[in-house]
Structure 1
């Protein structure tokens, strides 16, 4: 094949590819007939698919992926979402859900608090979620909730599983109520690593009231 013919063939193939692309763009040859969801635990596949709202006969190449992701991210349990296209017929939606750390019991239900210290939904608290009481403003007291989250996440898992409730009249007055009936006064998040470490030691003591707010000193009360 001569160089001229090779160039001509390349141009023809390029034109044909362009025509195919135009046809695929304007004619739904490739249809978005399948929606796959990954990363979800609490949110159901049906909920994600409904929020994505991608018609089964939609042109796969023309689905607005950023808009689809934004719609899914509006679901209560979804912290973020990402949508991608996979030929020949699939839209994949990857979701990252909020992790419930705390809950506040209000008249309208349990307000779940995520790892950022923000209320994100009213729902049944998952196992291991710690109840916060005495916040005054309840779920609106974001500074207090952030302080509690910071302490809870810094705890050793063996210590955290012993915590039943946190009495938190303010971010400076945190007191942890244990499942066995004992209390540990923590105070503020100042000197957090030392207080958290001291709390583990304090729990080996038998007293009903323990105070680690003055770490490294443990104050006790029978």
Structure 2
């Protein structure tokens, strides 16, 4: 559907044409000689003034009407231009809103992907801890560092359940290290006393406690257990855009 362009009327030109036609008809009806005789033969200024007022009343009215119509037409054009401009502004605002919506959706999607990537880093770090424990057969100093790094990676991207679960490994690793220090201190004490460590029940109990703590890590830090605790959090959201 095409828009029809409104035709602009030149009311001033029409007014001038009417005035010129009026003057032409006036001169044709009265004749130049009659008008010349009237002005030169009439000595009463009031009569001349009334004559001129009557003559120019109609042209004045026509020109006034033309000016009013022209002004009205310009006002209508200004209003139409304003309406068109407002339509353009409204369209631009709708476009901006659509762009903002797209940008917001992209930002949310990017945030979800970044969180997922950080969770995968923590997940891989836990698997590295599991591999180190299986390889070394113990929780070494490097393994404890890996556990702390994993806790730092997971702190702000997982919920309390996962963070508390990882925190238990830090506590258990700390307890294991304490048991090892206690056993080493007991061995030094017994050696100074000339006693074979293996002959004392307290040494055997300490060694059993260390083995039990090590076994706890083997039982609780497995790939199956890691997948069970972290698996739900590692799935990409279905509403990602």
* TM-score of the aligned structures, taking structure 1 as reference length: 0.22
- Higher helix proportion, which one? 2
- State which structure, 1 or 2, has the greater radius of gyration over its C-alpha atoms: 2
Q: Which structure has the higher relative contact order (CA within 8 Å, separation 6+)? A: 2
> With structure 2 as the length reference, what TM-score do the two structures score?
0.20
